[in-house]
Amino acid sequence: MAAAAVSGAKRSLRAELKQRLRALSAEERLRQSRLLAQKVIAHSQYQKSQRISIFLSMQDEIETDEIIKDIFRRGKTCFVPRYRFQSNHMDMVRLASPEEIASLPKTSWNIHQPGEDEAREEALSTGGLDLIFMPGLGFDKQGNRLGRGRGYYDTFLRRCEQHQQAKPYTMALAFKEQICDQVPVDEHDVKVDEVLYEDTP
């Protein structure tokens, strides 16, 4: 598929998925989020991971609060994204506690994230990550991911490869409404190891 065709296909699929997500009720979002939190907590890959990166949810993403609380309950180390808005650069920085989230500044996307000038432990400079929870707009069962088009995660995963011996395990958290037959991809798109959703076998 030519590059222009891929970007066109991505654009129209993004629009369709945004519409599908807007149609989800708050109750349904919460129901699926709770169910996925249970799946994550029971997952062997999660249980054996010590250094974990997880996103702070936007309105149309699986709610990650319960997973974050569990990471701290188990004494694992929690990292969250800090996006640089003028670029596609993102760092994963250490979170001190679940309670801290509410006091973090909000970005233009209305997500909490640590301030850019604030000194925080950065995952790749202190030993890398075992597990990365991936957000996205759409996924297929083969692990192809449709992001929001800025390439933050694809770029970050390539940096992981340079900084750590073992590749981190990547797990997408998705509403079942985000599962597509086939996600259009190009050579910059990095597949995820596993897509977790309500009907995951």
- Note the pLDDT tens digit of each residue in 59-105: 899 999 999 999 999 999 999 999 988 888 999 999 999 999 999 99
pTM exceeds 0.85: yes
pLDDT for res 66: 97
- Structure tokens of 84? 């640089």
- Enumerate the known binding-site residues for substrate: 56, 61
pLDDT for res 1: 66
Candidates 1.10.3720.10, 3.10.180.10, 3.40.50.10420, 3.40.190.10; CATH matching 3-196: 3.40.50.10420
- Enumerate the known binding-site residues for ATP: 10-14, 145-153
- Structure tokens of 182? 């086939």
β-strands 90-94, 77-83: how paired? antiparallel
- Domain boundaries defined on the chain: 3-196
Regions of the chain short of the pLDDT cut 50: none
Other beta carbons less than 10 A from residue 62's beta carbon: 26
- Enumerate the known binding-site residues: 10-14, 56, 61, 145-153
Distance CA 128, CA 161 (A): 10
pLDDT for res 189: 86
β-strands 51-53, 145-146: how paired? unpaired
The region, left, alpha or beta by phi > 0 then psi within -120 to 50, assigned to residue 120 is: beta
